[in-house]
Amino acid sequence: MARFRFKLGPVLRQRERAERDEQLRVAAIERQRLELEGRLRSQQHRIEAEEAALALLTHGGRTDATTLRCQGVALAAARDEAQKLARSLAGVLRRLEQARGVLAARAADRRAIELLRDRKLEAFRRDQNAAETRMLDDLASAKAARETGQ
């Protein structure tokens, strides 16, 4: 019995590799996103702590201006860092969205070849079944001819 051989097998393997490479790229960007989100949460906690410390200093009675100024500078620095992280996160999110779009396209490319392979395999099986049926019919006809000829 003949074996099915898909001529576009190398193309399918190449598309599978391209999709896998894109999956790795998306995963790397996703790791960046998670890391930045964690740093941003941490920075938000720092801002809250700096605000609480500043509130204690302003409501605590006698505090010199230098201490208040230092606390204000620390709070401003924490807010600036949070803004930088937020801008970085926005860039990563844009890259992640683009990478996911490319990944979807790679998956569609792979799937198109897989569908073609499946259709070719089904046609091969139909042809094989038809050939087997013809062969069985020929054998049955030959046997019937031999039996009627005797």
- Residue-by-residue DSSP string for 19-75: HHHHHHHHHHHHHHHHHHHHHHHHHHHHHHHHHHHHHHHHHSS---HHHHHHHHHHH
pLDDT at 66: 87
How far is the C-alpha of 5 from the C-alpha of 133, rounded, in Å?
Answer: 22
pLDDT at 150: 63
Sign of CA dihedral 130, 133, 139, 141: negative
Task: Tell me the per-residue pLDDT of 81-140, one tens digit each, with 9 for 90 and over.
Answer: 999 999 999 999 999 999 999 999 999 999 999 999 999 999 999 999 999 999 999 999
How far is the C-alpha of 115 from the C-alpha of 123, rounded, in Å?
Answer: 12
Residue with tokens 């019919």: 137
Residue type, 41: R
Q: Give 68's contacts (C-beta < 8 A, 6+ positions apart).
A: 54, 57, 58
Q: 12 with 113: CB under 8 angstroms?
A: yes
